[in-house]
Each structure stands twice: as C-alpha cells, then as structure tokens.
Amino acid sequence: MFFNGFFNITYCGVQMNPMNPNIRSGEVTKAIEKIQNLETLYPGIIQHEMFDFLDILEMGAKKYSPNNWLDIDGCKSSHKDMHASTFRHVANSSAGVILDLESGKDHVLHAMCRLGMVYVRRQRNIIHPDDKVVK
C-alpha cells in the first residue's frame, strides 16, 4: 500500500504495514498508545479524518504506483515536485476552493500528505537525483 512509510500498526481493523525495517515492536505499542491518547483528546479524529488522509495516499498509489514516493527517483517525488504540489493545494484551499477536482477530496488533505512524504523522505535520507542538498 502507498502509506507503508507512515504507519506500522493495525487500528480500527485496518492493517498498516511498515516499509521501515528498523521499527521495533515496542514502537508499535507506543504508536497505538499515542493514537488512543489522541482519540481521548480529539474524539473521532482517527476514525474519520485519518481515513480521509489514507484515501489520498491510496489514490496516489493508484495514480503513480505503490510506494513511488519512497523511491529515490520516484515520479513527482523530488523536493521541488513535492513542494510545488503542496503549495498548489494550499493556494487552492486559501482561495476558497475546497475540493480537488481530480480526487474530489479536500485540498488540505493533499497538502498534508505531501508534507508528510517530504518529512519521511528527509528522515530516511532519501534524496531525489534532481534535489539540491543545502545544509
């Protein structure tokens, strides 16, 4: 699935498999505890909005291929492409355009997904050949 890079838990009956071989079972338990704490603080967010977020990731998997965004030279996965997509969705949302025409989902969800992808790629040191690394 497209969202393998984000999650390593089963929650609400949905299996979310890891790409990260360094995940330890204790981290899975911590992740589940965090989600349960969030569920207490923000009732319903995991059951509803999180699945909307996962829908966006799944659509991307169908459009580009599963885990394309984790490939070093994946299509539309360069730093520039990821940010261009994020900014386009934020600009549409800011202009009052709520739904993306292609997916029918909120532009904010698309922006969140792209920023999450950027973060995961940075944490795993996945650098697209077109990216310039500035330290």
Closest listed residue to residue 3, CA positions, set 44, 53, 46: 53
Question: Average pLDDT, whole number, for the chain?
Answer: 76
What phi, psi does 70 have (nearest 5°)? -95, -10
pLDDT at 114 over 80: yes
Whether 62 is in a domain gets the answer yes
Pull the structure tokens for residue 70: 């984790």
- Structural domain contains residue 134: no
> In total, how many domains does the chain have?
1
**Residue of 30, 97, 45 lying closest to 54 (CA atoms):** 45
pTM above 0.75, yes or no: no
Give the domain extent around 7: 2-123
pLDDT of 118 over the 70 cut: yes
**pLDDT mean over 25-52:** 68
Q: How crowded is residue 8: how many other Cβ atoms within 10 Å of its Cβ?
A: 18
